[in-house]
Structure 1
Amino acid sequence: MPPAAAPSSGARTLDHPEREAIRLENVLHALSDPMRLAIVRRLAAVEDELSCAVFDLPVSKSTCTHHFRVLREHGVINQIYRGTAKMNALRRADLDDLFPGLLDSVLAAADLEEKRLGGAGT
């Protein structure tokens, strides 16, 4: 594996899979957890970057960090440091190009399930 590029001016960087390395089974695994799906739904709803701090998940900070890492390492989200904040954005263009309709179908199904269960699903 080639060495990682040195960050410029002391900036912290995070590893992300290249677009071509994103695999369907990894994306499905990342989306299979209710907490990770909630993160993706929130990012999809705002269509912008959100700080980790704005997500009020009913799990510990370390578990929350784990969920964001799984989403990033499986190519579902992009994470970048902006100052001390870790910003998150959905990799919608990559996912839509690689797996047309998948993300929209999963998000629509999650919305239907939430309505069917009266909000108990998230």
Structure 2
Amino acid sequence: MTRKPRTSTPMPIPSLAKVFEALSDESRLAIVQLLLDGESRTAGQIAESVSLPASTCSYHLSKLLNAGITVCRVEGTHRFPVLRRAELDDHFPGLLDLIRQGAPVRA
């Protein structure tokens, strides 16, 4: 029997101030820029892509999850952070476009 992927229950969309607070860290901003392409990546793959130690990346992914910017999709034993693109676009039109157009951030 194949299990369907499940997604964590998303946090409510935070205020713009909370979103900016979460994105004010260069490492978290780099992670969001990476997630904008929609590809599924594990925390380890994200850590490697943004040049962070796995434990530090996990900390930042937790901050993004708790801020309501991402959700976690679970497939078996794998967890994939996913950007809440539609909700963020609905509440903060243009924000993700600005992040996408910004210069690449190095963690």
What letter corresponds to residue 42 of structure 2 in structure 1?
S
Q: How does 1:36-115 map to 2 (within 5 A)?
A: 36-44=28-36, 46-55=37-46, 56=48, 57-109=50-102, 111=103, 114=104
| Equivalent position to 1:33, from 22, 25, 46 | 25
Higher relative contact order (CA 8 A, sep 6+): 2
3-state DSSP class of the match of 2:68?
coil
TM-score, normalised relative to structure 1? 0.70
Question: Is the contact between residue 9 and residue 71 of structure 2 (CA under 8 Å) also seen in structure 1?
Answer: no
Q: Name the Cα RMSD after superposition.
A: 2.4
Higher Cα radius of gyration = 1
Question: Is the contact between residue 30 and residue 70 of structure 1 (CA under 8 Å) also seen in structure 2?
Answer: yes
Question: Is the contact between residue 73 and residue 81 of structure 2 (CA under 8 Å) also seen in structure 1?
Answer: yes
Give the whole-Å Cα distance in 2 for the aligned partners of 1:61 and 1:47: 21
What letter corresponds to residue 35 of structure 1 in structure 2?
S
Question: Does the alignment pair 1:22 with 2:14?
Answer: yes
Shift of 1:48: 3.3
TM-score, normalised relative to structure 2? 0.78
Identity of aligned residues (%): 35
Number of residues paired by the alignment?
101
Question: Is the contact between residue 49 and residue 87 of structure 1 (CA under 8 Å) also seen in structure 2?
Answer: yes
Gaps of 5+ in 2: none
- Compared with structure 1, are the counterparts of its residues 47 and 58 closer, same or farther at alpha carbon in structure 2 (3 Å cutoff)? closer
Shift of 1:42: 0.8
Runs of 4+ in 1 over 2 A off after TM superposition: 12-16, 57-62
Gaps of 5+ in 1: 1-8, 115-120
